[in-house]
Amino acid sequence: LKERNAKDIWHPMAHPADSIANPPEIITKGEGVTITDVDGRTVVDAVGGLWNVNLGYSCQPVKDAIAAQLQALPYYSIFRGTTNDQVIELGAMLADFFKEDGLTRAFYTSGGSDSVEVSLRLARQYHKIRGEGGRVKFLSLKKGYHGTHTLGASVNGNANFRTQYEPLMPGCYHIPAPYTYRNPFNETDPEKLAQLCLAAMEDEIKFQGAETIAGMIMEPVLGAGGVIPPHKRFMPGVRALCDKYGILLIADEVITAYGRTGSWSGSRHWGVKPDMMCTAKAITNGYFPFGAVMINDKVADVFENDKTGKGAIGSGYTYSGHPVGAAAAIACLKETQRLNVKDNAAARGAELFAGVQKLQESHELIGDIRGGEGLMIALEIVSDRATKAPGAKPTMATIQKTAYETGAMVRVSGNNIILSPPLIVSSEDVNTILTALDAGLSAA
Ligand code: PMP
């Protein structure tokens, strides 16, 4: 299987030759918070699929809902003139779930990149309907990740995801991220750094001209860029600047929505109400590809009250509002709330964070630890704490491989080890993850 995998399949975000040099694990089974590979090894999935399997792999109500929906209606489009019962029920549930965020309408997609793309398109359209068609540019954060479609890649803060595909969308500008460990200001105080980043954002707005900017997109806690939770004043500061300059604030909550930060949304975690919110991943917990952009009244009113025809939405996918996806989302949302996974995320996240801090005392390789806002944590690996030289590829591979052999799947992203286990993990699972990490770091 490993040979055929290398021969026949290209993997996302990997060099094709990597599959030969480092054959990936072949996962054949998932149960609870564990995964089992083709060789029969069972480990705790400290990655939670890809930050999405919040409810673990054995969520029977979701499996039952999918099976029942496949019997009743496996597919029907919600394009022009038709809809289906599942998307309607889900719409009401999402409006209720995100009421506190001020988000009242849902636009369905097939995943995170689609949600980002739709939100950016809607942002431009919103301004055009209002007669401010010059507002076409976007701001985002360096180190932010917003998927791989063309607009999303353009606002991506990591140049590695952009350069091979340029020219991308012009008019996208990246603001320094509130990343205390490394930043252009050499500022280590989180609050001061947040102020510096906000000042840089305001400078960019003035330089570009506010009347040219459509939106600011940001993750409330940056995920793939290495888990960067900003100071608590940062996102409220971004909201204030957006309000001051008529810019829409789009929260990319593809990772953070539905409990991962210990709050039901990352925006709520910081007390911010965005104009739009991109969601996907845990909306269906990996049981079916699905996503939803949530929209507030301010944006919705402009579209809904448009009398010129400009409010007709030109975005959508064959699988927007897939009834099986919607049925899965309904069941996931019910389970997410019934189990109150956000509270377990906060409690287990604090345990995992404290455990990793302890590991840092004995492992020089850990340069920085970030997260602890729920169950998203990164260990930044360095070869030298004084120079902060990033951990080398073989070091990262050794940590990952040994951790896996000792009982936990962790994720390597650049020189970060990322932990984002299912939100239903127990304290015992947290200990398994810490033991595996300890072994991985010792081996490295
Ligand atoms: N936005 C964020 C914040 C993400 O983390 C991701 C995926 N990791 C995406 C967008 C893209 O989502 P997808 O991979 O489902 O297209």
Q: What is the ipTM of this complex?
A: 0.99
Chain segment 199-238, per-residue pLDDT in tens: 999 999 999 999 999 999 999 999 999 999 999 999 999 9
pLDDT computed for residue 113 by the predictor = 98
Nearest CA to ligand 1 atom 14: 112
Ligand 1 in contact with 109 (CB < 6 A)?
no
Chain segment 310-323, per-residue pLDDT in tens: 999 999 999 999 99
Domains 2-55+340-443 and 63-338 agree in fold: no
With beta carbons less than 8 A apart as the criterion, state whether 383 and 397 touch: no
Ligand 1 in contact with 280 (CB < 6 A)?
yes
Strands ordered across the beta sheet of 291-296: 103-109, 291-296, 276-279, 248-252, 213-218, 137-141, 172-175
DSSP class of 24: P
With cut-offs at 50, 70 and 90, classify the pLDDT of residue 80.
Answer: confident
With beta carbons less than 8 A apart as the criterion, state whether 168 and 159 touch: no
| Domain ranges across the chain | 2-55+340-443, 63-338
* Gap from CA of 77 to ligand 1 centroid (Å): 24
Rg (CA), the chain: 21
Domain 63-338 sits in CATH at 3.40.640.10
Ligand 1 atom nearest to 289, measured from its CA: 15
**Interatomic CA distance for residues 109 and 338, integer angstroms:** 25
With cut-offs at 50, 70 and 90, classify the pLDDT of residue 23.
Answer: confident
* Gap from CA of 254 to ligand 1 centroid (Å): 6
Ligand 1 in contact with 371 (CB < 6 A)?
no
* Gap from CA of 113 to ligand 1 centroid (Å): 6
pLDDT at 301 over 90: yes
Ligand 1 atom nearest to 114, measured from its CA: 16
pLDDT at 372 over 90: no
With beta carbons less than 8 A apart as the criterion, state whether 156 and 145 touch: yes
Q: Is domain 2-55+340-443 annotated with CATH 1.10.3720.10?
A: no
